[in-house]
Structure 1
Amino acid sequence: MRAQPRRLLCVADALAGFKIAKDSTFAMLRECQRRGHELAVCTAADLHWQSGGPVQAWAQALELTGHPSDWYRVGARSALALRDFDAVLMRADPPFDSEYFYATHLLQQAEREGARVFNRPQALREHPEKLALLEFAQYAPPTLVTRSAAAIRAFHAEQRDIILKPLDGMGGMGIFRVGPDGLNLGVIIETLNRHGQCTVMVQRFLPEIAQGDKRVLLIGGEAVPFCLARIPQGGEVRGNLAAGGKGVAQPLSERDWALARAIGPQLAARGLLLVGLDVIGDCVTEINVTSPTCFQEITDQTGFDVAARFVDALEQALG
């Protein structure tokens, strides 16, 4: 039975920057419109609150045209209360910086006023992309989180081959590999920790990256049966699509399913409707909750409609 039409607000980056051939937020919106839901859009910068009133957004009605070059039409900007929508989709891209943090507080106030926000703002705040992994360390490679250059050097001496990355990066930004020779370790530490001012994540290098950094999508706590293996190209250590990796969709392995069953229900119970696990070999290396991607790549290569699965879960959550 078809769900009743809903009013949906999507908080996302500027539409003009979307690459609709592969954008997961676009796929969500297209499926929502196909089902007859009424769409509006704003950016995180459009959220605002003033005492005596509800949290509002300078939002615009959105219509997708179906034309690749002129793919959307928007109405006039108007101040709309978030609580007047049936659902608010928080799909602003990382980095998880101070402005993102402030946006989650505005969204949480909107929740107090009656809005339904997906993913839940408190859960977004409590599961920053890299550090969410700490709770599930039994599924992760040996990992260190520190500002200390000495601790990083000791970790390298123990593990011999390591990956270093900033906590606020995305798309493979700022990721370095240092092998057994320790070449450039000092300058890499200085670059990432800024002489002890910034916290860094360090992990043992996993050679299984050659087979891909797999994105396993969890929707409503359950795994999509296909993942996207992002395979490094041209001598790169990074598989991220933004860093030139090749995306190959494939069925989940038994280990992928086991990881999804172990982690998915816990995160869903906290209000995380959509989660992206990054899996290399047998290990989870990151847990992505802000704006997980790879919907269209999986759908295009396998025929499994990820966006339809997501909207099914959203409609079910709304009741």
Structure 2
Amino acid sequence: MIVAFMMDPLESIEPENETTSWLMYECNQRGHTVFFLEPHDIYVRGSRLVARMRNVSVAPDQPMRAYWDDAIACLKRDELIFEEITDIDALFLRKDPPLNYQTLEYLHHVRGEVFTINSTTGQMLASSKLYLLNFPDIIPETHVSRDPKRLRKIIDEFGGSMVVKPLNRSRGEGVIKVSSHDRDNLNSLIHYYVNSYKPYPEREAIMVQEYLAEVKKHGDVRIMLLNGEILGAMRRIPAKGDFRTNIHAGASPAKHEISATDRRICDTIRPRLMADGLYFVGLDIIGDKLVEINVVSPGGIPRINRLDGIKIEAQVIDFVEEQVRRLKDHA
């Protein structure tokens, strides 16, 4: 099987703690051909979709760090491979936000010939935090606007702390807690986030969400889903002096047992995820509320593996192999 990973540069990855590197490692261990590419490597030649890629298949059974060093060494060879996308069996879209929409438009045309995880349509629909609005009964009180006066009124009337989130960023970037009690800074922050110096149509809409105070003590729960079913989970405890639960923002992982509430939330969103081709997803839950759905490059595999003594990446690649077989059977 030929498996391609569209992702960030290999040199930018810390392999021991990144989900993408473990997925690649598992493919390499199984003897699959592993290709690496970035979004700008897709182009059209004679009306056919082509990618310029690197073959990063290396010797199996190495420690992760040695494996990754060998994969990076493959990039230094003058061996660019130009393959039609339809020659690939499976394609992981693992490039961190923001999305390259032109690349997704290209790939949309081969959706029935290459198994793509996650689907181009699903990524375009769900990469923004607005996707949460499909599930109003299980999310915190949520507002979205680009009007500073309206946002200020929402926060004042709410009367407690709220969380401001840019719609298209990841890893906790730009997420802050605000309150009407901090009047000196509130107006300035709102104007900054919406880019209020721009004409109204060009401003950036932001999400304002109820702050769930239990996050300070108990953190949140990251649940990994595959084809709508729970693969594993971990709790993420914020660093001292912070409320953000992103590992990249300094939070610490901890073991978590799946609760009835977790299962209810997963059951609620499963039909929509499946309809949108969102096979491999990370959910963030605080208490009984869903606060994030991560579909572009959901992470957590290596840390959950270490906490629970499991091997989630093997289940993911099992699933991909089965989907590729089905696709070929129906070709």
- TM-score scaled by structure 1? 0.92
Task: Report the CA distance between 1:131 and its aligned residue.
Answer: 1.1
Structure 2 distance, partners of 1:22, 1:236, is 22
Question: For residue 57 of structure 1, what is the aligned residue in structure 2?
Answer: 51
Structure 2 distance, partners of 1:292, 1:166, is 18
Structure 2 counterpart SS, 1:251 = coil
Question: For residue 223 of structure 1, what is the aligned residue in structure 2?
Answer: 230
* Structure-to-structure mapping, 1:77-88, within 5 angstroms: 77-88=80-91
Question: For residue 127 of structure 2, what is the aligned residue in structure 1?
Answer: 128
Task: Report the CA distance between 1:227 and its aligned residue.
Answer: 1.3
Query: Where in structure 1 do 4 or more consecutive aligned residues deviate above 4 Å?
Result: none
Are 1:129 and 1:286, in contact at CA under 8 Å, matched by a contact in 2? no
Residue type at the aligned position of 2:169: G
Question: For residue 165 of structure 1, what is the aligned residue in structure 2?
Answer: 165
Are 2:180 and 2:186, in contact at CA under 8 Å, matched by a contact in 1? no
Are 2:143 and 2:207, in contact at CA under 8 Å, matched by a contact in 1? yes
Are 1:12 and 1:42, in contact at CA under 8 Å, matched by a contact in 2? yes
Per-residue deviation, residues 236-281 of structure 1 (Å, max 9, x unmatched): 1211111111111312111111111111243123211111111111
Structure 1 counterpart SS, 2:114 = coil
- TM-score scaled by structure 2? 0.89
Question: For residue 249 of structure 1, what is the aligned residue in structure 2?
Answer: 255
Residue type at the aligned position of 1:176: I
Question: For residue 293 of structure 2, what is the aligned residue in structure 1?
Answer: 287
Structure 2 distance, partners of 1:33, 1:78, is 18
2:98 aligned to 91, 95, 98, which one?
95
Task: Report the CA distance between 1:127 and its aligned residue.
Answer: 1.3
Task: Report the CA distance between 1:48 and its aligned residue.
Answer: 1.2
Aligned length in residues? 308
Per-residue deviation, residues 52-78 of structure 1 (Å, max 9, x unmatched): 231111101112453515242426112
Are 2:37 and 2:53, in contact at CA under 8 Å, matched by a contact in 1? yes
Structure 1 distance, partners of 2:312, 2:274, is 17
Per-residue deviation, residues 55-107 of structure 1 (Å, max 9, x unmatched): 111101112453515242426112111110111111111123xxx21121111
Report the more deviating stretch, 174-183 or 127-136.
174-183
Are 2:55 and 2:81, in contact at CA under 8 Å, matched by a contact in 1? no
Task: Report the CA distance between 1:129 and its aligned residue.
Answer: 3.4
Q: Sort the Cα spacing of 1:20 and 1:64 in 2 relative to 1 into closer, same or farther, 3 A.
A: farther
Structure 2 counterpart SS, 1:233 = coil
Structure 2 distance, partners of 1:265, 1:311, is 22
Per-residue deviation, residues 203-254 of structure 1 (Å, max 9, x unmatched): 0000121211221111011112x31222111211211111111111312111
Are 2:35 and 2:55, in contact at CA under 8 Å, matched by a contact in 1? yes
Where in structure 1 are there 5+ consecutive unaligned residues?
Answer: 1-5
Are 2:3 and 2:89, in contact at CA under 8 Å, matched by a contact in 1? yes
Task: Report the CA distance between 1:180 and its aligned residue.
Answer: 4.5
Residue type at the aligned position of 1:295: I
Question: For residue 213 of structure 1, what is the aligned residue in structure 2?
Answer: 220
1:27 aligned to 19, 22, 40, which one?
22
Structure 2 distance, partners of 1:64, 1:260, is 37
**Identity rate, percent:** 28
Question: For residue 309 of structure 1, what is the aligned residue in structure 2?
Answer: 315
Are 1:218 and 1:264, in contact at CA under 8 Å, matched by a contact in 2? no
Q: Report whether the alignment pairs 1:38 with 2:39.
A: no
Report the more deviating stretch, 305-314 or 285-294.
305-314
Are 1:83 and 1:116, in contact at CA under 8 Å, matched by a contact in 2? no
Q: CA RMSD in A?
A: 1.6
Question: For residue 117 of structure 2, what is the aligned residue in structure 1?
Answer: 118
Question: For residue 3 of structure 1, what is the aligned residue in structure 2?
Answer: none
Task: Report the CA distance between 1:316 and its aligned residue.
Answer: 2.1
Per-residue deviation, residues 36-60 of structure 1 (Å, max 9, x unmatched): 211111111111124x231111101
1:273 aligned to 271, 279, 290, which one?
279
Question: For residue 107 of structure 2, what is the aligned residue in structure 1?
Answer: 107
Residue type at the aligned position of 1:104: L
Structure 1 distance, partners of 2:177, 2:194, is 15
* Structure-to-structure mapping, 1:232-243, within 5 angstroms: 232-243=238-249
